[in-house]
Structure 1
Amino acid sequence: MERVCSAAIVKMVVVIALGAGFPHPAEAYRTTRRRPVSRPLTLDVQPTPEIEAQVAEEVAKARGILDDLNFDNLLASPYLVSAIYYHDGFLSGFSVDRSNADPERRIIGQISKMLSADHKTRFLRLLHETWNRSDPAGPQRLAVPVAYSALGGGRQTHRYAIDLFAREGTTVHAVSRGIVVLADREWDPANLFSTTSRKGGNAVIVFDPDHDRFYRYCHMSTVQVSTGELVTASQIVGSVGHSGLNASQPGHGRHLHFETNEYLEGHVRAIDYRRLRTMLRQWRSFDARDGSGSVQARTRQAGGATCQTCGK
């Protein structure tokens, strides 16, 4: 009898609450579980003569480097490095002549149109020669880039990247030994040209000469390496942050946006998220076997943690 009365009282309270405009308990629960994520910000800009002049200057600089590519100017243009890094066809549908389009992508898109397979081959050859002329930077090995609590990525979010969620300030490590070919460290939302990618924010790209791969680490709060520097596997390159146009918005998890592109016979191919997940598992096992303990990762699939709009 007491149970029946208790159930009736609970039911009466719920009915009264609903009549007063309160949400159903189940709906309230779902609402508290849902993470508010801001809408992605547009990359379009208000055209100005200054922006046009800067775009033209950076494209002309890259053209001059390509006309006489050598050891001294190989990494002199971060926009040229970015154009070499991005996989073939990445900006094929982007309108590089639209004056209100993202100026950084306009620069990289125009440079990409100038690049041939021979240009990329020569660029990679010079990177290898630079590496071979230098003292070896540690042994050949692979490591997990960050101690992450969850990972995201997939067909609906980043087909060619993975988001590794970790606390703000967690150290980010080089996956392999190699050459730092890009180190964007001065991201400023008010400066259109503070980094080579407003979406990527503070970012580092390392070339791995042992596997002809590029590893890209984005959204960092700090960058602790410089362009042209040789790094060892597991060396600290920066720390997890939320820099970048969309990563800095409310509702976006603090994470490392990680990409890997590989070079083969004049072409750069992106590695998709499924292969990246497999590679992460392998690198974690390498860390466990060598006993370094530098980057111990706890892997679980994040059901709702993927940053869908941070991007490149």
Structure 2
Amino acid sequence: MPSPAIADAALRVSGLHKNYGTREVLRGLSFAAGRARLTAVLGPNGAGKTTTIECCEGLRHPDAGTVEVLGTALGARSASSRSPGSYDAALRARVGVMLQDGGLPQAPRAGAVLAHLARLHERPVDPAELMRRLGLTDVARTPIRRLSGGQRQRLALAAALVGRPELVFLDEPSAGLDVRARLAVWDLLRELRADGTSLVLTTHLMSEAEELADHVVVIDAGAVVAEGSPRELTGGDEIRVLPAGGTDPATLAATLERRLAGRGGLRVGTSPTGDGATAEPWVVVGADGPPDAGVLSAVATALTDVGYADATVTSHRRTLEDVFLELTGHTLEPEKDR
């Protein structure tokens, strides 16, 4: 689908293609991430999400298409870039990258590594303050190999932020963190955005995307299948009708649609998959506004009138998880492949 126009983009991806042998991983993928905004990139395992972000980070080269980072186009060989798609020194200083595996040396002490990285930048964040904000002060003198997974994750985040970058790529920043540490990370990311930093986030936590993202990009099978703000994608509340056992949801939906045809603002359809708890598909009645008691009553009355009084009717606030399931047929899980 075409990417909506974002005039002031920190990152712009256009027509990206990438093959691994005979396997087509990216198929003309396009999207943009606005400046001073947090853009969440979501996709099921194997959708091409990791390959896309690696192309944006200059770690992998697309077969076709363009990537523009902070106004600099990647892809053309120049005297200052060793290979097509790589960052030159000036661009590297403006971009922070947090890899899921950290990419950190294991023997040095955590504080020493962050202090060393700070010295590589002209205007770094105070590394001691960054360690304090992320709850790492007590392990500053601990070798990285002895840190817990969550501590290494927070140190990797600090390493990506210490240079005060204009654009940051964050791969699963909350992975392995407890609730308190996750909330501290979220607060820090909000502050960065408020200060004008642009952030591109990949995550398997839908709550993280819903809580933080200004813009969400959903990737499946190497292409963008939907994008917009969380509110634009979720579209509000809905009524769910779970039929009794043995009832065909499609038949019930058609019957209910005819019965409710005279009531404006209602749309009837079926879910693509089960609800995760019962694995049974349901009938969806969408409303232009929040489904109030009158709408619920109208649906219940219609069900009784057509002989389905035993169906379960509930009001449901749509989430990104719902949208993701509808678009891809998958739940969002940590990525295991490209």
**TM-score bracket, shorter-length normalisation:** under 0.3
TM-score scaled by length of structure 1 = 0.22
Answer 1 or 2: which has greater strand percent: 2
